[in-house]
């Protein structure tokens, strides 16, 4: 997926606030991992969205599919990720939202 030594940037808010909020308040470290992974695949790669199944995300992160589904529910509820599908059986397209800025 990425070359060794390749880097990407994250907003300081993600580590300083969101980490504590998702892991501490929502008690969902999986939600933080999924958010960070989706950030890397979108904003970290200068893409607006990424089309990935729950199974693909789970395999890449090392979580179960059900843990990814639960994490995405937390992220959707918090407005941090938007996912859309044209048909119910389509692979979802995920968009990472920066709720702490005016221009997302």
Q: Give pLDDT tens digits for 47-88.
A: 999 999 999 999 999 999 999 999 999 999 999 999 999 888
In a domain, 25, yes or no: yes
Name the β-bridge partners of 81: 96
Give the number of other CB atoms < 10 A from CB of residue 38: 25
Residue 62, token pair as written in the block: 């090392």
Mean pLDDT of the chain: 91
In a domain, 7, yes or no: no
pTM of this structure:
0.88
User: How many domains does the chain contain in total?
Assistant: 1
In a domain, 92, yes or no: yes
Beta carbons within 8 Å of 52's beta carbon, 6+ residues apart:
38, 41, 91, 92, 94
Does pLDDT of 1 surpass 60?
no
In a domain, 5, yes or no: no
pLDDT-derived band at 30 (thresholds 50, 70, 90) equals very high
pLDDT-derived band at 8 (thresholds 50, 70, 90) equals confident
In a domain, 78, yes or no: yes
Show the domain range for 61. Answer: 12-96
* pLDDT value of residue 3: 62
């Amino acid at each position: 997926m990425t070359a060794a030594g390749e880097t990407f940037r994250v907003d300081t808010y993600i580590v300083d606030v969101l980490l504590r909020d998702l892991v501490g308040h929502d008690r969902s470290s999986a939600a933080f991992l999924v958010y960070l992974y989706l950030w890397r695949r979108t904003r970290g790669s200068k893409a607006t969205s990424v089309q990935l199944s729950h199974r693909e995300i789970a395999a890449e992160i090392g979580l179960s599919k059900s843990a990814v589904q639960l994490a995405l529910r937390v992220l959707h509820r918090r407005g941090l990720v938007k996912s859309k599908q044209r048909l119910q059986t389509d692979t979802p397209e995920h968009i990472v939202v920066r709720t702490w800025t005016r221009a997302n």
